[in-house]
């Protein structure tokens, strides 16, 4: 199935989808799982400021707790210690002001694109009269799915499903969008198209975004601020301000600045990844493979 590109997807100029300019703060957040004799400490005294109107991208070694962090910010889980604040108010559970787009599709297969998008607001009664339908149609056009609004998820390509999920989150007018590796599993071309499309929407309204990824190139291309987590139990190892001009295109990724950001982040990620190796043989083998990637 052919996936239309994002070139014409910003045609609905002037539409305001409730741009969120909220700020989030995590203060000394820790989280672990299991009983005392086999307790797994995933996050340890993690503190982070997510600035309003910025795209904050989070990267870290595999298994360091990125998905746990998403669940805590979304309110699906609660911290063992510490607090999470949204505009000064403590996060105590899920809410439509924090919408998540997950790694795997969460579209309901028995509903059409349109039905999936309007499901949440319709259930809550957020819109009166025909306003919900009007807003849904605007969003569907904005994400380039006007010809697919009556199609079911299995009739959509992977990239189309991602756009439908983005529209389903945006119609709730969240104050913060949380993206949990949303383009994982897409082929290389679809992934690049989705990255460009996602940036177009962000650069239109500067909605506060938290974007989690394991792809360092994706992180640098998208981010205003790049948060690098340590190995488990995860803390914020460093925050890198990505000073690449907007709007962005992939040509920027070959610039000396982008290369410098990538080298800085990769050096830290490599140091943290090495900590997960418990024996010298494994570490030595990893170092040999890693060294060859720079040849």
Instruction: Give CB contacts under 8 A, 24+ apart, made by 192-196.
Output: 192/250, 193/3, 193/5, 193/6, 193/159, 194/6, 194/159, 194/162, 194/163, 195/221, 195/222, 196/6, 196/249, 196/250
| DSSP track, 144-183 | T-GGGTTS-GGGS-HHHHHHHHHHHHHTT--SEEEEESTT
CB atoms within 10 A of CB 101: 21
pTM of model > 0.95:
no
Mean pLDDT value of segment 58-82: 94
* pLDDT over threshold 70, residue 244: yes
* pLDDT over threshold 50, residue 161: yes
Report the C-alpha gap between 100 and 178 in whole angstroms: 5
* pLDDT over threshold 50, residue 252: yes
When comparing pLDDT for 2 and 97, which is higher? Answer: 97
Half-sphere exposure of 140 (CA within 13 A, CB side): 20
So where are the chain's domains?
24-97+174-293
* 150 touches 114 (CB < 8 A): yes
Provide the percentage of residues in the chain whose pLDDT is more than 90.
62
Topology of domain 24-97+174-293 in CATH is Rossmann fold (3.40.50)
């Amino acid at each position: 199935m052919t996936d239309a590109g994002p070139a014409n997807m910003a045609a609905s100029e002037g539409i305001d989808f409730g741009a969120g300019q909220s700020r989030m703060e995590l203060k000394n957040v820790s989280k672990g799982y299991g009983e005392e004799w086999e307790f797994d400490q995933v996050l340890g005294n993690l503190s982070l400021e997510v600035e309003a109107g910025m795209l904050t991208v989070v990267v870290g070694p595999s298994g360091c707790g990125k998905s746990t962090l998403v669940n805590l910010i979304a309110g699906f889980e609660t911290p063992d210690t510490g607090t999470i604040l949204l505009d000064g108010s403590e996060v105590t559970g899920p809410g439509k002001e924090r919408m998540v787009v997950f790694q795997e599709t969460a579209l309901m297969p028995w509903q059409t694109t349109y039905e999936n998008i309007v499901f949440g607001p319709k259930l809550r009664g957020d819109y009166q009269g025909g306003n919900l339908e009007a807003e849904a149609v605007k969003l569907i056009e904005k994400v380039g799915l006007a010809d697919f609004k009556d199609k079911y998820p299995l009739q959509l390509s992977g990239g189309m499903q991602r756009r439908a999920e983005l529209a389903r989150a945006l119609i709730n007018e969240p104050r913060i969008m949380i993206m949990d590796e949303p383009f994982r599993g897409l082929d290389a071309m679809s992934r690049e198209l989705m990255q460009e499309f996602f940036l177009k929407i962000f650069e239109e309204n500067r909605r506060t975004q938290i974007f989690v990824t394991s792809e360092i190139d994706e992180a640098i291309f998208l981010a205003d601020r790049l948060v690098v987590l340590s190995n488990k139990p995860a803390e914020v190892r460093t925050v890198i301000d990505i000073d690449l001009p907007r709007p962005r295109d992939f040509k920027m990724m070959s610039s000396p600045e982008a290369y410098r950001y990538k080298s800085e982040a990769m050096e830290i990620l490599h140091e943290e990844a090495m900590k997960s190796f418990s024996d010298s043989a494994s570490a030595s083998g990893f170092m040999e493979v890693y060294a060859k990637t720079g040849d």
